[in-house]
Chains A and B, each alone.
Chain A
Amino acid sequence: MNQVVSALFWVSLVLVLTFITLPLVVVMAASLSPTAVVTLRPWEWTVQWYGDLWTARWLDPFMLSAQLALIVSIASGVLGLLAAYVVAYEKCPGHAAIMSFLLSPLAVPQIVKGVAIVLFLSSAGLYNWLGTPGLIAAHIILTLPFAVRMIATAMFNFDKNLDRAGQSLGASKMDRIRYLLLPIIKPGVFSGMTFAFIISFNNIPLSVFLVRPGETTLPITVINYIEYSLDPVLAAVNVASLLFVLGVIFIFEKIGGFSAQIHGGSK
């Protein structure tokens, strides 16, 4: 009986992992196929489409998306830290209500948030904000709940006894925050920032309303391209940006060391 259960478990695990990998393999094969017809014959594959990526058409949007995602992840990290500090560390009065306010953007579909922000900015006469500044603000709204949630979890896990020990040794509040709290919650902050980066880098629904002419993000460039032609360069863009995001995660992990948290450190 136990063997049956265990075999079932392994079979289902393998099936699920196959399910996850399948479309990614297809996209990779598409990026290597000579024409829009995807081929699974490796001897026909070519890397020519990757060469096409080194043009302003793809590099400019890529640069904008990368900068945007960096700014958004840092801003969400800082703002999320401030909010989580009050809500999870200080446990201010009404912290549960404040927390649900901070998480509320999650419940609203993105296109609605996008239209709402554009309508607000233009009816308030803030036309200069339509474009990259509005894009940054909108992406922060989108990513802040994720950052707050992850940083707050790390703060909840912070051992208050450490703080008390520091206090009895005469460390000032600022010192305790700087030398005790921040290093310990660093992985939480960086995992929140990584999430923010990925979400911002891949976003379409909010960006579609806020990109300014001449300053288009990579995903928007991709969907515009699809409207007019379907060639393998799109798949190449996708694979290349996947590798880029993996690189970013790797760097963030090096700085923040959050995999310890994901891999079992958190509860």
Chain B
Amino acid sequence: MSVLALKADKRRPHGPSRVQQFLPLFPPSLILLLFFAIPMGMMVGLSFQQSDASGLTLASYERFFSDQFTLMGMARTVVMSGLVAICVTIMAYPVAYFLARSKSRWRALVFALAIAPELAGVVLRTYGWLIILENQGFINNALIWLGVIAEPLPLAKNMFGVVVGLTHVILPFGILSLLTSLQGVDPNLEKSAQILGASRASVIRHIVVPLTVPGIVSSMLLAFTMSASAYATPAILGGAGFKVLATMIYEQVLFYIDWSFAAVMANVLLVMMLIVALIGTRLEARLHQKLHT
């Protein structure tokens, strides 16, 4: 009920106006419609068009799905994003746990560090990793100097480098999702379990982790989506042979200027993300059920 609805009540006692209730929604929806929904509709339409043919055609989709190279790119996107989702969640967990439970004065510093990667531009952060990981980078130089290895390890210009770079970029988001979830778990639950004689390990395994399953799932989903659409990191740290959907979309848009094909890849990426989101929600519901029955 809004102010106006209250006033109207005095005159007309039955039913506040539904339209007025939705009124504040108008400006944000209009912006979303104009600058997101309609343009995206055009983009989907474009994927069924070809420059040299009139009418709708599935030719660009056929080209995508009949080509081993683009399919490889799609598979690489899934593997890369999956690895990043796992790495981000595992690495974010201890940090989020510390932030949720600790009362130490280092907490503010850890929090600042945890979100720091997000504050720096992605391109230079990625160059930072390149300097660390490349063949004559800090790690390889140090290991060779120490005599641990004779030949540089292939740390950059491959899947490993990309996963490292993306994990770093996305870690703050994982930490924040897990933090929200961990703050929802009553610390007294852990204390009482320990008083009752449960070991630290079993408290974590049987109480903390199960109760934060929604946070784990949402962290993995967020990390997956963000890595699947990331461009700069795979382009810089992956090298020439490392093509994922996002980098192929950029090439089609900016180099080959074939937007219908770019739209096809974008739609494939979108559908892929929706499927992953669906699997994630299902998984979460399943685990939820398992824990509560």
Given A173-B1, A219-B123 in contact, is the A86-B168 Cβ separation under 8 Å? no
Measured CB to CB, the nearest residue on chain B to A137 is B35
Q: Is B256 an interface residue (CB 8 A)?
A: no
Measured CB to CB, the nearest residue on chain A to B100 is A264
On chain B, the residues within 8 Å of A138 by CB distance are 35
One of B36-44, B51-59, B68-76, B283-291 at the interface:
B36-44
Q: Main SS of chain A's interface residues?
A: helix
User: Contact: A92 with B119, CB < 8 Å?
Assistant: no
User: Contact: A106 with B225, CB < 8 Å?
Assistant: yes
Shortest CB–CB separation between residue B183 and chain A, in angstroms?
6
Partner of A119, one of B34, B42, B120, B270: B42
Shortest CB–CB separation between residue A248 and chain B, in angstroms?
10
Q: Once the chains are docked, how many angstroms separate the CA of A90 from the CA of B2?
A: 9
Measured CB to CB, the nearest residue on chain B to A2 is B200
User: Contact: A17 with B113, CB < 8 Å?
Assistant: yes
Partner of B95, one of A17, A22, A249: A17
Shortest CB–CB separation between residue A211 and chain B, in angstroms?
14
Query: Which residues of chain A in 195-220 are interfacial with respect to chain B, using CB atoms and an 8 Å cutoff?
Result: 198, 202, 204-205, 219
User: Contact: B117 with A24, CB < 8 Å?
Assistant: yes
User: Contact: A82 with B201, CB < 8 Å?
Assistant: no
Partner of A113, one of B27, B34, B39: B39
Q: Is A222 an interface residue (CB 8 A)?
A: yes
Chain B 106-125: CB-based contact to A (< 8 A → 1; otherwise 0): 01001101101111111111
Q: Is B21 an interface residue (CB 8 A)?
A: yes
Query: Could you tell me how many residues of chain A have their Cβ less than 8 Å away from some Cβ of chain B?
Result: 79
User: Contact: B131 with A30, CB < 8 Å?
Assistant: yes
Q: Once the chains are docked, how many angstroms separate the CA of A17 from the CA of B110?
A: 8
User: Contact: B40 with A108, CB < 8 Å?
Assistant: yes
Q: Is A242 an interface residue (CB 8 A)?
A: yes
Chain A 13-52: CB-based contact to B (< 8 A → 1; otherwise 0): 1001101111110110010000000101000000000000
Q: Is B219 an interface residue (CB 8 A)?
A: no
User: Contact: B31 with A140, CB < 8 Å?
Assistant: yes
Q: Is A117 an interface residue (CB 8 A)?
A: yes
Chain B 199-211: CB-based contact to A (< 8 A → 1; otherwise 0): 1110010000000
On chain B, the residues within 8 Å of A172 by CB distance are 3, 6
Q: Is B277 an interface residue (CB 8 A)?
A: yes
Given A20-B117, A123-B42, A137-B35 in contact, is the A111-B249 Cβ separation under 8 Å? yes
Q: Is B24 an interface residue (CB 8 A)?
A: yes
Q: Once the chains are docked, how many angstroms separate the CA of A234 from the CA of B29?
A: 39
Query: Which residues of chain B in 1-22 are interfacial with respect to chain A, using CB atoms and an 8 Å cutoff?
Result: 1-3, 6, 18, 21-22
Q: Main SS of chain B's interface residues?
A: helix
Q: Is A266 an interface residue (CB 8 A)?
A: yes
On chain A, the residues within 8 Å of B125 by CB distance are 23-24, 27, 238
User: Contact: B39 with A117, CB < 8 Å?
Assistant: yes
One of A54-62, A97-105, A179-187 at the interface:
A97-105
On chain B, the residues within 8 Å of A107 by CB distance are 225, 270, 273-274, 277
User: Contact: A219 with B121, CB < 8 Å?
Assistant: yes
On chain A, the residues within 8 Å of B270 by CB distance are 107-109, 112
Shortest CB–CB separation between residue A245 and chain B, in angstroms?
5
User: Contact: B27 with A20, CB < 8 Å?
Assistant: no
User: Contact: A116 with B121, CB < 8 Å?
Assistant: no
Partner of A27, one of B32, B92, B95, B124: B124
On chain A, the residues within 8 Å of B231 by CB distance are 109-111, 205
Q: Once the chains are docked, how many angstroms separate the CA of A105 from the CA of B229?
A: 12
Shortest CB–CB separation between residue B141 and chain A, in angstroms?
11
User: Contact: A245 with B119, CB < 8 Å?
Assistant: yes
User: Contact: A13 with B36, CB < 8 Å?
Assistant: no
On chain A, the residues within 8 Å of B184 by CB distance are 267
User: Contact: B253 with A111, CB < 8 Å?
Assistant: yes
Chain A 214-251: CB-based contact to B (< 8 A → 1; otherwise 0): 00000100110010000000110010011001100100
On chain B, the residues within 8 Å of A79 by CB distance are 27-28, 31
Q: Once the chains are docked, how many angstroms separate the CA of A27 from the CA of B126?
A: 9
User: Contact: B25 with A83, CB < 8 Å?
Assistant: yes
Query: Which residues of chain B in 50-97 are interfacial with respect to chain A, using CB atoms and an 8 Å cutoff?
Result: 91-92, 94-95, 97
User: Contact: B200 with A116, CB < 8 Å?
Assistant: no
Q: Is B259 an interface residue (CB 8 A)?
A: yes
On chain A, the residues within 8 Å of B35 by CB distance are 117, 120, 137-138, 140-141
Q: Is B162 an interface residue (CB 8 A)?
A: no
User: Contact: A9 with B3, CB < 8 Å?
Assistant: no
Chain A 142-160: CB-based contact to B (< 8 A → 1; otherwise 0): 0010001000000000000
Partner of A30, one of B117, B128, B229: B128
On chain A, the residues within 8 Å of B199 by CB distance are 1-2, 5
User: Contact: B171 with A20, CB < 8 Å?
Assistant: yes
On chain B, the residues within 8 Å of A82 by CB distance are 24-25, 27-28
Q: List 15 A-B contacts (CB under 8 A).
A: A17-B110, A21-B113, A23-B129, A26-B131, A86-B25, A98-B25, A101-B32, A106-B225, A108-B266, A111-B249, A202-B122, A219-B121, A262-B111, A263-B107, A266-B183
8 tightest A-B CB contacts, nearest first: A23-B128, A109-B229, A116-B39, A120-B39, A173-B3, A82-B24, A112-B266, A238-B124
